[in-house]
Amino acid sequence: MSDVVKTVRNGHILEVTLDRPKANAIDATTSQEMGRVFAEFRDDPELRVAILTGGGQRFFSAGWDLVAAADGEAYDSDYGVGGFGGISELPNFNKPVIAAVNGMAVGGGFEIVLACDLVIAAEHASFFVPEVKVGQLADSASIRLPKRLPTAVAMELLMTGRQMKAEEALKWGLVNQIVPADKLMEAARNLAEDISSSAPLAVQAVKETARESEALTVADAYGEMRAGQRAAYEAMLNSEDAEEGPRAFAEKRDPVWKGK
């Protein structure tokens, strides 16, 4: 186990903690390790849901390590198989990730939150992308944030770098829940358990379908699905689990998912 990227398996759930004091900033080496962890999670048939959080209570992540940058690490360094933070560009990544935001999510840290599927935030959490204040573009946030927030709100955050508190993030639907800090992981685990009780291939098909259909018309999205162009959807349709669900319902028992 890495000293910086710590993992704990809990049944079908993987908990990942970025623990790099003082601010959980991410350099290229850390990002590469995060990518390795999430690629292994993606490829492990026993794992269904991941929770990503930060060590401590002040920072989820301060994003790109500016100390490493000052020492010569380039903005476009090799961040590993998953891109910055391990999940922003990980290919074929259809398993859900819950961000348990334990403090400030700054710059690239906020971008990692945006790459997650669900967000549980501590009451003191905040989100901001200050890159414009240091002459940079928050590239991933500039792509994802306008898809998650009303355009005017997203552009204000991107162009001013102001902080969005947890309450405002909840208002705009950016987070699923706000909880006291000492209840953060409990809430994230409860949500992960709810997801992991669903058919895993169906959950993966949901994520794939939502992602791949985002820029399509409804008709085109249906067309691609019906043409067999969605791997996770096809895997679900042809799975043993697709037969187990109706059988369990008819027999008035809980389904036993095999993920195949």
Tell me which residues are annotated as active site.
Answer: 111, 131
Beta-carbon-side half-sphere exposure of residue 61 (alpha carbons within 13 Å):
31
Q: What is the DSSP letter of 174?
A: S
Residues 6 or more apart whose Cβ sits within 8 Å of residue 119: 98, 99, 101, 113, 169, 174, 175, 176
The answer to whether 119 and 173 have CB atoms below 8 angstroms apart is no
Q: Among 94, 107, 127, which residue's Cα sits nearest to residue 204?
A: 94
Q: Among 76, 81, 99, which residue's Cα sits nearest to residue 39?
A: 81
Buried residues in 45-76 as b, exposed as e (16+ CB within 10 A): eebbbbbbbbbbeebbbbbbbeebbeeebeee
Phi, psi of 187 (to 5 degrees): -65, -40
